[in-house]
Amino acid sequence: MLNRLLAPFRNTTGLARWILVTGIVITIAFVVMAVFAPWLAPLDFNQQKVDGVKLPKLAAPSDDYWFGTSDQFYDVFSRVIWGARTALVVVTLSVLFSVLIGVPLGLISGFVGGWTDRMLVFVMDALYAFPTLLLAIVFSFLLRDALGGGVTAAALSLTVIYIPQYFRVVRNTTVSARESTYVEAARAIGAKNSSIMGRYLFGNVIQSVPVIGTLNAADAIGTLAALGFLGFGIQPNEASEWGYDLNRALDDASSGIWWTALFPGLAIVFLITGLTLVGEGLNETVNPSLRKRRIRKVEMPPNEPTTALVEGRTR
Amino acid sequence: MQTKRDVTATGESLVDIRDLEVHFELRGGMLKRLLGMDTGTVKAVDGVNISLKRGEVLGLVGESGSGKTTLGRAMLGLARSTKGSITYHERGGEGQTRERVVSQLKGADLRSLRTDLQMVFQDPNAALNPSMTIEAAVGHPLKIHGIAKGEDLRPRVAAALERVGLAPAEQFMSKYPADLSGGQKQRAVIARAIILDPEVLVADEPVSMLDMSVRAKILQLMVDLKKDLGLTYVYITHDLASAKFFCDRIAIMYLGRVVEIGPTEEIFADPKHPYTKALLKAIPEPDPNKMVPRDLPRGEIPDAAKPPLGCSFHPRCPEAVAECGWESRDLRVLLEEHWTRQETTSYEEEQALVGSLDRLDDPQKTVTLGSGADSARVRGLLDRIRQENPSEPLWSGVDEISETGDGVEVRFHQGFDPELRPSGGVEVACVLHPKPVTVEPFRPE
């Protein structure tokens, strides 16, 4: 099983492999930050006092506060580390939800066809036509009453904007796979529609989902930060969020205080880069039309006409 | 290699096909679909009567597009029949049979039929789910019908795999279809079909996608399976040579109809229908001294949405007579063939004389060529073409050529659409059979 999973990776060469490896390394670094945040971060994300003493306001980076402190008496380094946890939790949840909703809908829509298909395609196209940020803002408004301004609400409002992508890809692959002989063969052995969809189509139509998943995750980081920047995202008392920190840092930047904006900003850029590289790398390895198979070079024996024959014999 | 096995066919019929029609609606252009206009139908199967006897091997032979695959799919209920019936006589306890009308079954009833009727597909590379192991694929039918599950499944799958020659089974069970060769895949497909212990196996060109060396082995496997499991086969093929080896009876299909059906020996020894004769001549003969002249049927198989009037084989038939149903489209083909042999200048001249041929596209028994002023020259042209090849069968179908005020009117004889009629040991759908010939074939004087 592991061998099968690694097969596309082993088949890649050169740039494609480097893209994938670089992406994975960056992403893993952020995952480590997120998982071990309580141990890595010196302070809590909303901690303003150490031993009853308030942190200095807007202190420059130093040995005590590596990334400096913010105008709210927060330690920027701790905020960045905790922010990784928030970002990854929100993004994982939103990708998970959109896969769980988008893939089955696409499968059913493509397989059943007819009016079900038309209606679903219509709704999904309508969703897709909206600017993503606008849609996310609308849904975070709607969800704020029901779920508050926490991680779940942010994840769900991101979910809505990514469902159509999975739906489209899975539906289109299903439509073409539905006519294939192995589906007809499944009918011929008496398989129910549900079992045809689950056992025969599912495994063959989700092959590009991991690629879309990682690329969406990269996109979701940006959207989440944008929501936080505009004040519609996760509330500051719920979790540390890079977009919100950037918003707070706007005023500082004009007065020459660079550290409050630079570090959350860099974190966003690096995580998006890492995830995008993973997605592109996966795309190159999973998608056979782009893939360049690794061919082992043939080692020819040295061509020495006078001695080659003799050597060949003695060997 | 054995050529004929002991025939265990009984007279008892297992599947009865009566007046079966499978028509597919054409989708037509966008405008036609929007306006809900009639887009026409393709008559893939058009009035077929066959009764499949228990224990026999029935061959369905024909060119691509003759409807043989659709007929096979309809027998399993995979293609919806639009008219007629398919009745399967299920064997019950104590020699009783239960009738099940396949063409009316739906949902769970239709699915339960699959334990008795199974299919082997043409392309083994496409018939197996690429993301399923061989064990899962072959065992799935048992799971679906609740015959075995869990622990029980594995030994039965192994037995089926070994039965079809994939031994040792352990070596193949965890493999994916992509890891197997074409012949191995086809064996796996056969294993999946026989694991339910069916009565009838519809084999849709099971060897046409395989290498020559593998073909004989797979056919031999099917012969062995038939003997051991008491199967009844419907063998769909375009290859008469393998049908000769494999089949007890052969039905020759053309454009959705059976044109000749009878015992294999009879068909090969004394083919009646001109189409059967043509197919037999197309079999490659390895001995160069025994080469037969290959006057293969001219042209292509016609459009099934607009089949020729009368006997649908008549435009390609070397033996066609006046009654075969000649019509306007045949005249168009004749004129166009004539022009392919002409110089550009004389083609342009003649083309202007006759005018647009598009009006010949609708099947008609009476057509008018040219305009009133040129009628004498058009008539001269037709006479010239006739002189070039007086033995062209089309001329036998022309009843009268007359000059009218609007041009030259060509009227064809009334045609017949022949039914399947017994002739000798076979049944054949041709106006020339059964003999004695009631109509004298056209003889050029």
* Total domains present in chain A: 1
Interface with B, mutate which of A173, A174, A182 (most B CBs under 10 A): A182
A190, B114: Cβ pair inside 8 Å? Answer: yes
**B88, B100 Cβ separation under 8 angstroms:** yes
Q: Do A191 and B140 touch (CB under 8 A)?
A: yes
pLDDT band per the 50, 70, 90 thresholds, residue B292: low
B128 interaction partners in chain A (CB closer than 8 Å)? 182, 185
Q: What is the CATH number of the domain that holds A44?
A: 1.10.3720.10
**Pairing verdict, β B57-61 and B83-91:** unpaired
Q: What is the mean pLDDT of chain B?
A: 84
Number of domains in chain B: 2
B141: which chain A residues are within 8 Å (Cβ-Cβ)? 189-190
- % pLDDT > 70, chain B: 90
| pLDDT-derived band at B156, boundaries 50, 70, 90 | very high
Provide, as residue numbers in chain B, all residues whose Cβ is less than 8 Å from the Cβ of A184: 78, 121
Q: Residue A287 has what pLDDT?
A: 66
Compute the distance between CA of residue B337 and CA of residue B318 in angstroms, rounded to an integer: 16
Instruction: Please check the confidence at residue A28 and state whether its pLDDT lies above 50.
Output: yes
Q: What is the domain-level CATH number for residue B131?
A: 3.40.50.300
Tell me if B127 and A181 make a contact (CB, 8 A cut-off): yes
Instruction: Tell me whether residues A195 and B144 touch, CB distance under 8 A.
Output: yes
The answer to whether the CB atoms of A191 and B144 lie below 8 A apart is yes
How wide is the angle at C-alpha B235 spanned by C-alphas B23 and A180, nearest 5°?
A: 55
Residue A289: predicted pLDDT: 57
A191 interaction partners in chain B (CB closer than 8 Å) = 111, 140, 144
The residue written with tokens 């060396």 in the block is B213
At residue B71, the pLDDT reads 92
pLDDT confidence of residue A46: 78
* Of the listed ranges A32-36, A176-180, B155-159, B341-345, the one predicted with least confidence: B341-345
Q: Which residues of A touch B132 (CB under 8 A)?
A: 199-200, 203
Residues B175 and B64 in one domain: yes
* pLDDT confidence bin for A151, thresholds 50/70/90: confident
Q: Say if residue A82's pLDDT is above 50.
A: yes
The owner of tokens 């050029």 is B444
Say if residues B333 and B299 touch (Cβ distance below 8 Å).
Answer: yes
Q: In chain A, what residues touch B114 (CB-CB under 8 Å)?
A: 188-190
Task: Name the closest residue on chain B to residue A190, using Cα atoms.
Answer: B111
Tell me if B436 is assigned to some domain.
Answer: no
Count chain A–chain B contacts defined by CB atoms under 8 A: 62
- Sheet with B366-369, edge to edge strand ranges: B366-369, B407-412, B398-404
B269 and B181 assigned to the same domain: yes
What pLDDT score does A100 carry?
Answer: 95
| pLDDT tens figures, A122-134 | 999 999 898 989 9
Collect all residues with Cβ–Cβ distance below 8 Å to A108 and sequence separation of at least 6: A116, A120, A197
Cis ω for the linkage preceding B168 (within 30 of 0): yes
* Res. B444 pLDDT band, cuts 50 70 90: low
pLDDT at residue B82 is higher than 70: yes
Which among B78, B130, B193 is the nearest to A184, CB-wise? Answer: B78
pLDDT-derived band at B1, boundaries 50, 70, 90: very low
Between A69 and B218, where is the model more confident?
B218
Assess whether pLDDT exceeds 90 at residue A92: yes
**B223 in the same domain as B346:** no
> What pLDDT sits at residue A7?
64
Q: What kind and span of H or E run contains B35?
A: helix B30-35
d(CA A192, CA B28): 31
Chain B closest CA to A202's CA: distance in Å? 9
Residue of A nearest to B111 (CA): A190
CB–CB of B43/B72 below 8 Å?
no
Which residues does residue B401 pair with via DSSP β-bridges, in sequence order? B410
- According to DSSP, residue B322 is labeled G
Half-sphere exposure (Cβ direction) of B340: Cα atoms closer than 13 Å: 5
Check pLDDT > 70 for residue A168.
yes
Per the CB < 8 A criterion, the answer to whether B129 and A204 are in contact is yes
Give the pLDDT confidence of B213-254 residue by residue, as tens digits: 888 899 999 999 999 998 999 999 988 888 988 899 999 999
Report CB contact under 8 Å: B141, A190: yes
Residue B129 has pLDDT above 50, yes or no: yes
Q: What are residue B263's phi and psi, to 5 degrees?
A: -60, 145
Chain A residues with CB under 8 Å of a chain B CB are 180-182, 184-192, 195, 199-200, 203-204
Q: What is the pLDDT of residue A62?
A: 80
| pLDDT class of A234 with cuts at 50, 70, 90 | confident
Nearest Cα residue to B403 out of B382, B386, B384: B382
Quick one: closest CA in B to A4, which residue?
Answer: B176
Q: What is residue A293's predicted lDDT score, i.e. its pLDDT?
A: 58
3-state secondary structure of B85: strand
Residue B191 binned pLDDT confidence (cut-offs 50, 70, 90): very high
Taking 60 as the threshold, does the pLDDT of residue A312 lie above it?
no
On the question of a cis peptide bond just before residue B434, with omega within 30 degrees of 0, the verdict is yes
Instruction: For residue B234, give its domain range.
Output: 13-28+38-280
Residues B128 and B212 in one domain: yes
Could you tell me the pLDDT band of residue B3, with boundaries at 50, 70 and 90?
Answer: very low
Q: Which of A184, A190, A204 sits opposite B145 (nearest CB)?
A: A190
List, for residues A43-67, the tens digit of each pLDDT value. 887 777 777 778 787 777 887 777 8
Check residue B5 and give its pLDDT: 35
The reported pLDDT for the residue numbered B188 is 94
Q: In this model, does residue A33 exceed pLDDT 50?
A: yes
Query: A69-73, A110-114, B52-56: lowest mean pLDDT where?
Result: A69-73
B-chain CB neighbours of A186 within 8 Å are 129, 140
Task: Tell me what pLDDT residue B440 has.
Answer: 57
Check whether residue B130 and residue B259 sit in a common domain.
Answer: yes
In this structure, are B163 and B252 located in the same domain?
yes
The residue ranking higher by pLDDT, B6 or A76, is A76
> Which residues is B48 bridged to in the sheet?
B20
What values do phi and psi take at B16, rounded to 5? -110, 125
Mean per-residue pLDDT of chain A: 84
Residues in chain B within 8 Å Cβ distance of A204: 129-131
Residue A176 CB-density burial (10 A; 0-12 exposed, 13-18 middle, 19+ buried): exposed
A154: containing domain: 2-314
pLDDT for residue B2: 36
| Domain membership flag for residue B302 | no
Mark yes or no for CB contact A189/B123 under 8 Å.
no
Q: Which residues contact B188 (CB under 8 A, 6 or more apart)?
A: B124, B128, B134, B137, B138, B161, B164, B166, B172, B177, B180
What's the rounded mean pLDDT across residues A146-173?
89
Per-residue pLDDT reduced to its tens digit, B360-375:
888 888 888 877 677 7
In a domain, B188, yes or no: yes
